[in-house]
Structures are given as structure tokens and as C-alpha cells.
């Protein structure tokens, strides 16, 4: 990945976290320094956007800070994880 894209994406994520006061917008848990940073989630659930450079001005209203628990408990993520687990079971069953 090109360095400027990673820096741009990380810069955008940090701006969103700052805007949201490093607080999960679902459960209101506050991020604690020294722990893993909270996720920045696309509200429109367009997965392909996560691999692209997130332009702050263009995407800021579509991005939200979520703690890991709330992010992983979104229905779309739970469904994807469930499908991934089933796929892994099928692959491991054949081994």
C-alpha cells in the first residue's frame, strides 16, 4: 500500500475519533490510553470503502467511532463472521 494512503486513512480515523471524543457512539464507553484504539465504522456498511483512502471531508458524516464490542455486534458484522466461521469449519473438515 502506498504510504500516503495509509497516512491519509489513519489521519481520517484519528480525526473521527477526536470528533467523537474517543467515545463509542453506541454504548458511550470512553477509550483508555494504552489500549487498542476504537474502530472507525462506515455507517453505510460499504465494505469496499475500508480498502480505499477515506477522505475526511467527503466521508466524515458517514464515519463513527465504535468500541470493538459494539462494532463486532453490528448485525452485518455478526452475519459476516458467522459465514466466515462456517467456511472455516468446512475447510477444516476436508483436511
pLDDT in tens, the chain (95 residues): 444 445 678 888 899 999 999 999 999 999 999 999 999 998 887 766 655 555 677 788 889 999 999 998 998 777 776 766 555 544 555 55
Question: Which residues have C-beta within 8 Å of that of residue 35, sequence separation ≥ 6?
Answer: none
Amino acid at each position: 500500500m502506498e504510504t500516503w494512503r495509509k497516512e491519509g486513512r489513519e489521519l481520517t480515523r484519528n480525526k473521527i475519533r477526536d470528533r467523537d471524543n474517543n467515545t463509542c457512539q453506541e454504548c458511550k464507553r470512553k477509550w483508555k490510553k494504552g489500549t487498542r484504539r476504537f474502530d472507525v465504522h462506515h455507517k453505510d456498511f460499504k465494505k469496499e470503502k475500508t480498502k480505499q483512502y477515506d477522505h475526511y471531508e467527503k466521508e466524515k458524516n458517514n464515519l463513527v467511532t465504535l468500541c470493538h464490542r459494539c462494532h463486532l455486534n453490528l448485525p452485518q458484522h455478526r452475519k459476516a463472521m458467522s459465514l466466515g466461521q462456517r467456511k472455516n469449519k468446512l475447510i477444516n473438515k476436508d483436511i
